[in-house]
Amino acid sequence: MSVEKTRQNKERSMLMVKKRIHKDVVIIGAGMAGLTAALYAGRMNLSVLVLENAIVGGQISNATGIENYPGFMKVTGRDLIETVQAQAEHAGAVVDEFDIVEKVSLKATPKIVETAEYIYETDVVIIASGMNRRKLPLPEEMIYANKGVHYCELCDGHLYQDKVIAVMGGGNAAIDAANFLTKYAKKLYVIHRSRLRADEVSIQRLQRNLKVEILLETEIKALHGEGKLTSLVLFDKASGIEEELPVDGLFVNIGVVPNTELFAEDLPLEDGRIPAGEDCRTAIPGVFAAGDVREKEIRQLTTAAADGTTAALLAGKYIEQMRGGKVKW
């Protein structure tokens, strides 16, 4: 497309007036928390819209085998999410994938959620935008994602029974992941570029395990393998030596990035997450936070579903109170 044509399209889109649509509930994010909220809100005969910037399901959609979700001996992330989405849509919710949310006005009455195509006016916003794990900063990461490189030990650890596993990271989450993966690993390496920053009790537990070797002051420089990961190229910062380490799988745990930038002007954030209690209420009446985006200690599929349930049921109660002129928050 020519530069002139691009300019004309931009000018045309600027002149277009976006259609305004009212919804009782707008849910931002179509992971487990968002879809569960949609299911419950839909069953209350509320008009419900779920907006998802990327693919429905988020991170969990890539999980190859989930064995800790009640009701399933084993299920893929994609199958589980598709089932919950179908339930939500059967209840009347509309799921709009890839209509990017551009801005929100959470303190307005009604609240405003603007996407690339529409302006939605809504009584309630449920924020379930989740988080993204920091990716391994190597160009080969995309080649080996789910082919030896993983980000969820609970989802994929069982695939490496009696295999050689490496864990990248030095914080609590990484060391907890390493301790968890020792139940599967024949040999487990913990690789970190500096010193471990996890709780001492967790570190000591790891150090006592004879399967474990901890490589500090070590960086992963490259990934190798034909079709799947078979080795890592490691750089020892102290000696300046590079060597190749054969592994079957690498679990990366170098932090997460909550998807909350869109809400920073309206809501306070704690380490990037939204403060909200077990009732999922935020500081703004009619705005709820559910799932990994909420500041809390435990983040699992089951707790995300619980948050979605709570947020939806209390959203329904809030709407009843609002329409009756007796809002309590």
pLDDT tens for each residue of 175-198: 989 999 999 999 999 999 999 998
Q: Are residues 181 and 168 in the same domain?
A: yes
Mean pLDDT of the chain: 92
Q: Are residues 124 and 163 in the same domain?
A: no
Mean pLDDT of 260-284: 96
99 in a domain, yes or no?
Answer: yes
Q: Which domain holds residue 89?
A: 3-132+256-323
Q: Are residues 160 and 128 in the same domain?
A: no
Pick the last residue of a domain from 232, 252, 272: 252
User: What is the b/e burial string over 182-203, where b = at least 16 CB atoms within 10 angstroms of the residue's CB?
Assistant: bebbebbbbbbbeebebeeebb
Residue 1 has pLDDT above 60, yes or no: no
Q: Are residues 109 and 143 in the same domain?
A: no
Bridge-based pairing of strands 164-168 and 187-191 is: parallel
Instruction: Report whether the peptide linkage leading into residue 110 is cis, meaning its omega lies within 30 degrees of zero.
Output: yes
Mind listing the pLDDT tens digit for each residue in 75-122? 988 899 999 999 999 999 999 988 899 999 999 999 999 999 999 999
In this structure, the dihedral spanned by the alpha carbons of residues 310, 315, 320 and 323, taken in order and rounded to 10 degrees, is: 170
CA distance 76 to 82: 10
* Per-residue tokens: 119: 């302006």
pLDDT band for 327, please (50, 70, 90 cuts). confident
Say how many domains are in the chain.
2
Q: Are residues 125 and 169 in the same domain?
A: no
pLDDT for res 326: 79
Q: Are residues 248 and 266 in the same domain?
A: no
Helices (H), 75-199: 77-90, 141-144, 153-156, 172-181
Q: Are residues 105 and 149 in the same domain?
A: no
CA distance 29 to 36: 11
pLDDT for res 216: 97
- Residues 6 or more apart whose Cβ sits within 8 Å of residue 152: 59, 60, 63
CB 291 within 8 A of CB 283: no
CA distance 14 to 6: 12
Q: Are residues 144 and 180 in the same domain?
A: yes
- Residues 6 or more apart whose Cβ sits within 8 Å of residue 80: 60, 66, 69, 72, 301
328 in a domain, yes or no?
Answer: no
329 in a domain, yes or no?
Answer: no
Residue 127 has pLDDT above 90, yes or no: yes
206 φ/ψ angles, rounded to the nearest 5 degrees:
-65, -45
pTM value surpassing 0.75? no
CA distance 94 to 303: 23
Pick the last residue of a domain from 252, 284, 311: 252
317 in a domain, yes or no?
Answer: yes
CB 137 within 8 A of CB 223: no
Q: Are residues 147 and 211 in the same domain?
A: yes
pLDDT band for 57, please (50, 70, 90 cuts). confident
Residue 325 has pLDDT above 70, yes or no: yes
28 in a domain, yes or no?
Answer: yes
Q: Are residues 82 and 24 in the same domain?
A: yes
Active-site residue among 24, 123, 155, 292?
Answer: 155
Instruction: Give the CATH number, domain containing residue 33.
Output: 3.50.50.60
Active-site residue among 24, 79, 96, 152?
Answer: 152
Pick the last residue of a domain from 218, 252, 286: 252
Catalytic, 156? Answer yes
Catalytic, 280? Answer no
Where does residue 108 rank: exposed (0-12), middle (13-18), buried (19+ CB within 10 A)?
exposed
Q: Lowest-pLDDT range, 2-11, 22-31, 165-174, 299-308?
A: 2-11
Q: Are residues 217 and 265 in the same domain?
A: no
pLDDT for res 155: 81
CB 317 within 8 A of CB 328: no
Q: Are residues 139 and 127 in the same domain?
A: no
pLDDT for res 99: 84
Classified as helix, coil or strand, 95 is strand
Active-site residue among 123, 156, 176, 248?
Answer: 156
